[in-house]
Amino acid sequence: MAEAMPQTRSLRASTIHDGPLPRTLCDSATLANPNHGAIATFLGVVRNRHHERGVTRLDYHCYRPMAEALLARLIAESAERFDPALSALVVHGIGLMHPGDIALCIHVACPHRAAAFDACRHLLERIKADLPVWKREYYDDGTSAWLTGS
């Protein structure tokens, strides 16, 4: 009698999270399953310098309903483009963050590594280009600025 195939299905989830992302959310093993031989992960971490200026904190704002809808759409678009079996978990943090905090995590699982890497990169670039999220940087000289473009 043939061995039963493991029951797996694509997991696709995305959200906007209030505050820095918890480290547990950044564990890509969440997506591990026997149908997917590769998991690619990108973590966006708050840097302590920007153009030679010391950064003390960031304040992320977003247009939440549009951002949440767009994240889900970008994952569907990536599956269509790179692998219909793709699983993905994408979370963007908003609100106040400090250097070292994780602001964005993208996990992509696919049967093979090329699609996982490509889809992960694609999601990141589309988020950078279109996701309605803005960050205000606060510097160690007491000034601040909205960043434009990514």
Partner 1 sequence: MPRATILYFASLGDLLQRERETCDLPETATSGDILACIATCHPDAASLLSTCRVAVACEFLTDRIRLRGGEEVAILPPVSGG
Judged by CB under 8 A, does residue 104 bind partner 1?
A: yes
Site for partner 1 in 15-44 (CB under 8 A): 44
Find the angle CA(141)-CA(146)-CA(78) to the nearest 5 degrees. 130
Regarding 82 and contact with partner 1 (CB under 8 A), the answer is no
Q: Does 60 bind partner 1 (CB under 8 A)?
A: yes
Distance CA 18, CA 146 (A): 19
CB of 115 to partner 1, least distance (A): 22
Encoded one letter per residue, x for contact with partner 1 by CB under 8 A and - for no contact, window 119-148 reads -----x--xxxxxxxxxx---------xxx
Which DSSP letter does residue 5 get? P
Closest of 68, 65, 87, 78 to residue 12, by C-alpha: 87
Contact 35, 85 (CB under 8 A): yes
Among 23, 32, 49, 66, binds partner 1 (CB under 8 A): 66
Phi, psi of 55 (to 5 degrees): -100, 125
- The one segment of 17-25, 29-37, 66-74, 78-86 that binds partner 1 by CB under 8 A: 66-74
Q: Contact with partner 1 (CB under 8 A): which of 32, 69, 76, 114? A: 69
Residue closer to partner 1, measured from CB, 22 or 65: 65
Separation CA 44–CA 102 (nearest Å):
6
CB of 79 closer than 8 Å to CB of 11: no
Interaction site with partner 1 (CB under 8 A) = 44, 60-63, 65-66, 69-70, 92, 103-104, 124, 127-136, 146-150
